[in-house]
A and B are shown apart, each in its own frame.
Chain A
Amino acid sequence: TQLLEQSPQFLSIQEGENLTVYCNSSSVFSSLQWYRQEPGEGPVLLVTVVTGGEVKKLKRLTFQFGDARKDSSLHITAAQPGDTGLYLCAGARQTGANNLFFGTGTRLTVIP
């Protein structure tokens, strides 16, 4: 059973377009992280959101944590070819060790 479902699984858009990636779960998380992964490399952290309803901005990327801390979204404004990659959300449970549960991933391709 996948704790975190991401949609869409694949996304191919033209440079300059906007897009939103969704990360949904029926479980509550104490925090949620977003990673980006390039081919042949490990995931790299983009942002951590902790508070329900929290919004964080990283240049053209906007991350939101749902009020109930069960879901999150990533919005990219004016996508660029450098945004191409695999985007992964990961939730931290409220108890126990620092085990992150990863979403299924969204593979984004931005066409010049």
Chain B
Amino acid sequence: NAGVTQTPKFQVLKTGQSMTLQCAQDMNHEYMSWYRQDPGMGLRLIHYSVGAGITDQGEVPNGYNVSRSTTEDFPLRLLSAAPSQTSVYFCASSPITRGSPLHFGNGTRLTVT
């Protein structure tokens, strides 16, 4: 039972480059989300989705795009990487019910130089 799978685990980008962080879940969860984790700031919500074809912005969406073409996949795209986007990124999924616990992937550590 894989749960939530994130790739890659580590990535180094130069300023201005673009890339896609992959996230897939095999639990048939309707809700998926992306968080970034920075020291002393906890986890902050970037974008989320309540089902295929539906996405919305979280607290810190600038510089990131998402799409949800299937229930299983929720990729996060960095359009033009900036040093301020150096962080650890976590994808999470859950049933649609508000208050449901989130199932997290193991994260992608991104460094932008």
What separation, in Å, do the CA atoms of A41 and B90 have in the docked complex? 9
What separation, in Å, do the CA atoms of A90 and B42 have in the docked complex? 10
> Number of A residues contacting the other chain (C-beta, 8 Å)?
30
With a cutoff of 8 Å between Cβ atoms, the chain B residues found around residue A45 in the complex are: 101-102
Would you list which residues of chain B between 85 and 103 have a CB under 8 Å from chain A? 90, 92, 94-102
Q: Which of A2, A31, A40, A102 contacts B107 (CB 8 A)?
A: A40
With a 10 A CB-CB cut-off, give which of B35, B102, B107 has the most chain A CB atoms.
Answer: B102
> Is residue A96 contacting chain B, with contact meaning CB distance below 8 A?
yes
User: B40 to A99, Cβ gap below 8 A?
Assistant: no
User: A98 to B41, Cβ gap below 8 A?
Assistant: no
With a cutoff of 8 Å between Cβ atoms, the chain B residues found around residue A48 in the complex are: 99, 101
With a cutoff of 8 Å between Cβ atoms, the chain A residues found around residue B33 in the complex are: 99
Residues of B at the A interface (CB closer than 8 Å) are 4, 31, 33, 35, 40-45, 48, 50, 56, 58, 90, 92, 94-102, 104-107
Residues of A at the B interface (CB closer than 8 Å) are 2, 4, 6, 9, 30-31, 33, 40-45, 48, 50, 88, 90, 92-93, 95-105
Chosen A-B contacts, 29 in total, with CB atoms closer than 8 Å, are A4-B42, A9-B40, A33-B101, A40-B107, A41-B107, A42-B90, A42-B92, A42-B104, A42-B106, A43-B43, A43-B102, A43-B104, A44-B104, A45-B101, A48-B99, A50-B99, A88-B42, A88-B43, A93-B98, A95-B98, A97-B31, A97-B56, A98-B94, A98-B96, A99-B48, A100-B45, A102-B44, A104-B41, A105-B40
